[in-house]
Structure 1
């Protein structure tokens, strides 16, 4: 308990480091609630990141935000930040419906972009954004969809226990308590591309895709709940979806933005097929088979708390009649707040146990901008496929795709 308290306390109040002369200067578009988690707090402990400017629709709000977070410059418009030659990179934490326009504008202004998830409103926008000609030029801007949780060591360790080809079923769930998301919040505004699939379920979808290491062939079912008041009836406040993947496996995702008061950590539970395990100690008439279940509790905010449970069900049986001779279960739990704890190919990577997933993400973003090697990345192709999966679910649900921006790319 003491280590948990210390870790969380330091994560939200990290040590401030001296900034390098060539640090990346960020501008923030919008005084959004997610910005402190996504960038402002992680930047304090990164020597190569400086928060330079912020703009919001309401300048007074921007000034209050800048004062609270120690941001020196306040600009009158988003475009004014993009036009500033001293700004190197942009954080876009705006409502989903504005991601496409301002990401395109930022890329065309030559700025690197850290783009809050979901990247855009639908796959049509994603195909345009992530295939902009500017992104394929020499010294192109860096564009990253901020799937922060995928950068945390716990997710990489979790993946090491799974052979995607053997996965037969995955259950994922996530939720936030009902009192956090009021009906009139942007989460339930269709014109702002709201909905539980967009706001939270996209985490689940991303986990399904990396567990199977493939793209879903079909959304089999997608059941949603809406308020049904004629105003919010296109925005789901919870959903349950089922997908079929190319290896025949089934992936399920369930999310609620109106969950119970008692919060439950997100979960990804993987069941694999029965596989034969070579064992030279057995007679030729017998074989050993194993079925594995791997569960990652707390995959979205693993820096607070997480646990990886690995449960191996072992059977020694006769080959002729497949009758068991011996059966036993081996269970073990793991954690990885640093890459050193995760071990394997990433063991050499930097990190502290109090680093948020956002801090790990920022480390890789800076590396990519600086031209240094990155060990993990969310590619443009990955982000396009992510939006295709979201569209697949909304089409199956009957609610329809989130609206495409009126902003035209010419």
Structure 2
């Protein structure tokens, strides 16, 4: 417990090194509640990031937000931020239904874009946004969908323990307690592309796609509940496996960590100590508890079911082993990750910001969410919404000129 308290204290009160002369200046489009966690706090410990300005539909709200978060400047409009030649990057934590328009406008203005997940409202918008010609130009703008959890050491380690070719089943769940949302929240606003699938569920869908190493062939079933918009979705993968994602924004009273469990096929394991005619086989089941916000708490459990059989199939011996791992830093993850950058006070958003800055600066990145990945993610969301009968979220009328 003491270690957790110390870690979380450092997460929200990180060291604040001096900013470098070439630091990237961010403008924030929207005084959103997620912005301090997703950008402002991580930026404090990054010497190459300055959160320079913010704008909101209500200037008084933007002024209060700027004062509370130590942001120097307030602008009257989002466009004013895009028109400022001294702003290098924009962070877009607006309602989902506005992501497409303002990300496209920012790219056209030559700004690098970090856009909250889900990147857009549906795959139609994703195809347009992630294929804008500016993104393929040398030294053009950088666009990243902020799937922060996939940058955290525990997720990277968990993924490395799994061979997608062996995966036969993936189950993932996330939730927010009933007291964490209310009916008037934008999470439930259909015109603004709200819904549990668009909020928490998108993490679960991404887990299925990444761990299978492929996109689903079909959504076999998808059940939803109105207002609470809880979901239970089953998908079929190309290798014959099945994936199940469930999420709710109106869960039980107690906040429970998100999780994902992967079941793998039985494989033959080389064992030179066995006598002739006997072979060892192993089936693995791996679970990551705390999939989304690993910095608060997480655990990787690896269960191995072992069996030794003779050539005619007779079982000689059976046994199980379970081991647990944690990785609050890449050094703790060890192995091939041991030398990757990061401190214990780096939450997933800080790891994400590190890679975003590296990409903008033209330096190598160790982890990234490609445009193709983001398009595939929205196609999976559309597939589920279509199966549910609700249909994909509305498409913006805005088109890049």
TM-score when normalising by structure 2? 0.99
Shift of the alpha carbon at 1:283?
2.3
- Within the alignment, does 1:338 sit opposite 2:314 as a pair? no
- Within the alignment, does 1:276 sit opposite 2:268 as a pair? yes
Whole-angstrom CA distance in 1 between matches of 2:73 and 2:399 = 30
Whole-angstrom CA distance in 2 between matches of 1:254 and 1:319 = 42
Find the counterpart in structure 2 of residue 230 from structure 1: none
Structure 1 segments, 4+ long, off by >4 Å, are none
Q: Which runs of 5+ in 1 are unaligned?
A: 228-235
Q: Specify which of 288, 292, 316 is matched with residue 284 of structure 2.
A: 292
Whole-angstrom CA distance in 1 between matches of 2:344 and 2:270 = 37
Find the counterpart in structure 1 of residue 240 from structure 2: 248
Q: Which moved more, 1:13-22 or 1:362-371?
A: 13-22
Report if the CA contact (8 A) 2:105-2:400 is conserved: no
Whole-angstrom CA distance in 2 between matches of 1:85 and 1:319 = 72
Find the counterpart in structure 1 of residue 365 from structure 2: 374
- Secondary structure of 2:307 counterpart: strand
After superposition, the CA RMSD in angstroms is: 0.8
Find the counterpart in structure 2 of residue 217 from structure 1: 217
Find the counterpart in structure 2 of residue 94 from structure 1: 94
Whole-angstrom CA distance in 1 between matches of 2:266 and 2:168 = 10
Shift of the alpha carbon at 1:91?
0.1
Whole-angstrom CA distance in 2 between matches of 1:305 and 1:120 = 29
Aligned pairs for 1:5-404 (under 5 A) are 5-227=5-227, 237-320=229-312, 322-404=313-395
Whole-angstrom CA distance in 2 between matches of 1:23 and 1:278 = 52
Report if the CA contact (8 A) 2:96-2:118 is conserved: yes
Shift of the alpha carbon at 1:323?
2.1
Shift of the alpha carbon at 1:409?
2.3
Shift of the alpha carbon at 1:344?
2.8
Report if the CA contact (8 A) 1:346-1:375 is conserved: no
Q: Which runs of 5+ in 2 are unaligned?
A: none
Whole-angstrom CA distance in 1 between matches of 2:362 and 2:46 = 17
Report if the CA contact (8 A) 1:89-1:113 is conserved: yes
- Within the alignment, does 1:407 sit opposite 2:398 as a pair? yes
Whole-angstrom CA distance in 1 between matches of 2:183 and 2:106 = 31
- Secondary structure of 2:175 counterpart: strand
TM-score when normalising by structure 1? 0.97
- Secondary structure of 1:251 counterpart: strand
Whole-angstrom CA distance in 2 between matches of 1:41 and 1:334 = 27
